[in-house]
Amino acid sequence: MIKHILVVDDEKDIRMLFKDELVDAGYGVLLAESGKEALEKLREHKIDLLILDLRMPDMDGIEVLQQVRESDKELPIIVCTAVRGLKDDYSIWEGNVSAFITKPLDLDELRKKVDEILAK
Amino acid sequence: MAGRVKQGKGAPKMAELSQHPKKWRVLHKISLAMNSCLSSRELLQLLVREAVNLLKADSSVIFLLGEDGKTLEANVVAGRDKKAMKRVSVQVGDGIIGWVAKTGRPQFIPDVTKDNRYLLVVEGIRSEATVPLIAGDRVIGVLNVESRKTKAFDKIDLELLTMFASQAARVLENARVYEDTNRRYRQIQALYEVQQTMVETLDFERVLSLIAEKVVEVMEVKASSIRLLDPDGEELVIAASHNLSRRYLHKGRVKLKESFIDQEALKGNLVSIIEVADDERFVFREEARAEGVHSLLCAPLRVENEAMGVIRVYTDMRRSFSDDEQKLLSTFAGQAALIIKNAKLYKEWGERGFQLTRSQSKLKEVREALIKKEKLAALGQMAARVAHEIRNPLTSIRGFSQRLFRKMEGREGQRYAEIIIGEVDRLNRVISDILDFARPLQPELKMTDMNELMREVLDLVEIEGSHITLKKKFSTNLPMAMVDRQHIKQALLNLIHNGIEAMAEGGDLLIGTESANGAVLVRITDSGPGIAKEVRGRIFEPFFTTKARGTGLGLALANKIIESHNGKIEVESKQGRGATFTILLPEGRE
């Protein structure tokens, strides 16, 4: 059965990049351009993996993460950010995030991580 | 010693002279010449020439009494081999010349062969007339005329010669006064120059060395030194010198209580030594001999009753210093002391001023550091924002290029895509460097074995195929250091990469650890081209780089990390001979 990934990023081109890449990799891809939209789509669809940008105009990734975790403790989440070192700086990630990807990302690495997480 | 003059004996009467109009004309000519602008030497030459003419003599010589008051030396000559005569000297009391100098009485000898006082200097002289040159009441020399004929001169000639002699003495006296005035003028001029320099430069050392130079000029000696009392008053230290070799100046030090000369001088006395190499009072006799200095005159540098030091002058030949010279040095030293004291005051004031400037610049430093910190905080925020704004498009560029790369398999476009990916990664490294540098450091300190950490760092360094030889020299007895391992690793890596990048053609990279005075030292030495002096002070500035491909943040970050550990990085480099970065980290205490 095909696995579905929700990609949340405020930039259209990046959403498109993820979509093309992950579709090529054999996944179903849904896109959200804001935190609000992301939460809606999570309610409406069965999502197997969330790829979350941390910096968005309406609410930041951390807020989205917290709200998601209130209802879903199991959903795997990949945090995708342009800022380095966040992994070490906050304890909030502990147990909540499956992987970190820093922008600009390497598509091969993305595939590898996604495959690993969804193969479990 | 030359005698005092007994006036009047055997003086001819004017009436006798008046019978010789030609002689009057000559005397008139001479008195005109005396008021002309001829030099004293020219006047004396004119006098001896006219004496030969007028008295129909064969030759004439002026002998002058030397400074010792014992020797008469031929000074001006007419009608004889001048060069040969110049070397002739006669002792006071010897021969007719010596007799006249001693007694101050004119003599004419009709036949020298019949006078047992006569000393043969030149063959063929049969008669001569000799008169003393008198200045004040002292004999200063002798005027002599000679003839190959016997009975060539009479009493009248002797009187004429006496008049010539009085003119010659006048010339000599004028010359002496002139020389004296000139010397005094030179002295004033020299002191004025020193004072002028002091006012212009306020430079204590330069004032001292100028005094040392000028005293040599004024005293007409070989060399000089100025020695000033040290603050404890136990030693005189050479503060300036002129014409003394470095070797002589570093001959060693003497405590004041061991130096008789300095003690005497500081009491306010002049000390004169004719031959320092033979004088027990002089400590460095052998050194003085090697230096070629002979006579010494030492004068105190005193202002009122405060003794500051001494000034010494050295000659390059053995001689005594005349009263005039002693007085001259004394005066000069007195003036010099005043100038030195003023210069010293200026210097002290200057230093206080300097301290003030320094504390001001410290304030400025702190203020600048604050501004820098604020700037960095702002930079941190800005960098994060810029990074975000740049990294997002880079994400698209890199991602789509990567997809293109895959789709271009086997086609030319694949290479282009590869280039784009490479350049995106490069841009991204620049942003990473900026972010790393801008991020405030909060080191987590742990007791660390720097040798072990260094080994970990070296595992990350790739030098294969670069013609670089890595040499390690780790201290076996290295204390632990309190460091943030990750941060220090980063700093060391940056420094090592900097060294490797400096050796594009290959070379030696020397890594060493050491302990020194409560610090743990890590040295990184490359054999690259070195760091030019002009840029050495700037290499830790953010964004400063001399490389074509560099952000200029590697060393800046390394420095920032080391400073956040209360350590520092020192740089030594000679252009063309590599560079050494020494990282000093405080020793760790549990």
Alpha carbons B320 and B131: distance in angstroms, whole number: 29
Q: How far is CA B290 from CA A13, B48, B271, B274, in A?
A: 90, 45, 22, 16
Euclidean distance between CA atoms B125 and B59, whole angstroms = 9
Residue B291: closest CA among B389, B374, B223, B368: B223
Q: What string of DSSP letters covers B124-166?
A: T--EEEEEEEEETTEEEEEEEEEESSTT---HHHHHHHHHHHH
The answer to whether residue B398 neighbours chain A at the CB level (below 8 Å) is yes
Identify the three-state secondary structure at position A31: strand
- pLDDT range class, residue B434, cuts 50, 70, 90: confident
Chain B residue with Cα closest to A15: B396
ipTM here: 0.91
For residue A20, the chain B residues in CB contact (below 8 A) are 403
Distance CA B196, CA B191 (A): 8
Largest CA distance in chain B: 141
CA distance B424 to B404: 14
Q: Tell me the CA distances in angstroms from B79 to B58, B97, B144, one per residue in order.
A: 6, 18, 12
Q: Are B276 and B285 in contact (CB under 8 A)?
A: yes
Q: What's the pLDDT at B233?
A: 81
Distance, CA of B317 to CA of B295 (rounded, Å): 7
Say whether pLDDT at B11 is over 50. Answer: no
Which of residues B4 and A116 earns the better pLDDT score?
A: A116
**Identity of the amino acid at B558:** A
Residues of A in contact with B394 (CB under 8 A): 103-104
Residues B476, B367: Cα–Cα separation, whole Å: 43
Kindly report the average pLDDT of chain B as a whole number: 82
Residue B330 has pLDDT above 90, yes or no: no
Is any Cβ of chain B less than 8 angstroms from the Cβ of A103? Answer: yes
Q: pLDDT, tens digit, for every residue of B125-149?
A: 889 999 999 888 888 899 999 999 9
| Token representation of residue B293 | 């200095």
- Summarize the confidence of residues A27-55 as an average pLDDT: 92
Under an 8 A CB cutoff, do A83 and B384 touch? yes
How many distinct helices (H) and strands (E) make up chain A? Answer: 5, 5
Q: If one looks up domain B446-586 in CATH, what number appears?
A: 3.30.565.10
Q: Does B394 touch chain A (CB under 8 A)?
A: yes
* Least confidently predicted of B49-58, B151-160, B437-446, B554-563: B437-446
Q: What is the CATH number of domain B14-180?
A: 3.30.450.40
Range of the domain at A24: 4-119
Least CA distance to A13: which residue of chain B?
A: B396
Give the distance from residue B385's alpha carbon to the nearest chain A alpha carbon, in angstroms. 9
Q: Which of A13, A20, A104 sits opposite B428 (nearest CB)?
A: A104
Asked whether the bond before B21 is cis by omega within 30 degrees of 0, the reply is: no
The whole-number pLDDT of residue A90 equals 54
Give yes or no for A82 touching B (CB within 8 A). yes
The string of DSSP codes covering B337-387 is: HHHHHHHHHHHHHHHHHHHHHHHHHHHHHHHHHHHHHHHHHHHHHHHHHHH
- Chain A residues close to B439, C-beta within 8 Å: 85
3-state secondary structure of B227: strand
If you average pLDDT over residues B194-212, what whole number do you get?
76
Does residue A101 belong to the interface with chain B, where contact is any CB pair within 8 Å?
no
Q: Which residues of A touch B405 (CB under 8 A)?
A: none
* Tokens representing residue B142 in the block: 């002798």
Bridge partners of B472, per DSSP, are B511
Flag whether pLDDT at B372 surpasses 70.
Answer: no
Task: Check CB contact of B408 with chain A, cutoff 8 Å.
Answer: no
Contact flag A105-B396 (C-beta cutoff 8 Å): no
- Chain B: give the shortest CA distance to residue A80, in Å: 11
Domain B187-349 has CATH 3.30.450.40: yes
The helix (run of H) or strand (run of E) holding residue B494 is helix B485-501
Among B158-167, B420-429, B450-459, B486-495, the minimum mean pLDDT is found in: B158-167
Q: Which of B398, B435, B439 sits opposite A104 (nearest CB)?
A: B398
The CA distance from B234 to B227, in Å, is 12
Confidence of residue B27 (pLDDT cuts 50, 70, 90): confident
The answer to whether B468 and B507 have CB atoms below 8 angstroms apart is: yes
Which one of B395, B435, B439 has the shortest CB-CB distance to A103? Answer: B395
Q: Which CATH number belongs to the domain containing residue A74 in this structure? A: 3.40.50.2300
Residue numbers in A near B435 (CB within 8 A): 83-84
pLDDT tens-digit series, residues B164-183? 888 888 888 887 787 777 77
Number of domains in chain A: 1
Residue B394, CA distances (Å) to A57, A106, B309, B553 in order: 19, 11, 76, 21
**Helix, coil or strand: residue A66:** helix
| DSSP strands (E only) in chain A | 4-8, 28-32, 49-53, 77-81, 99-102
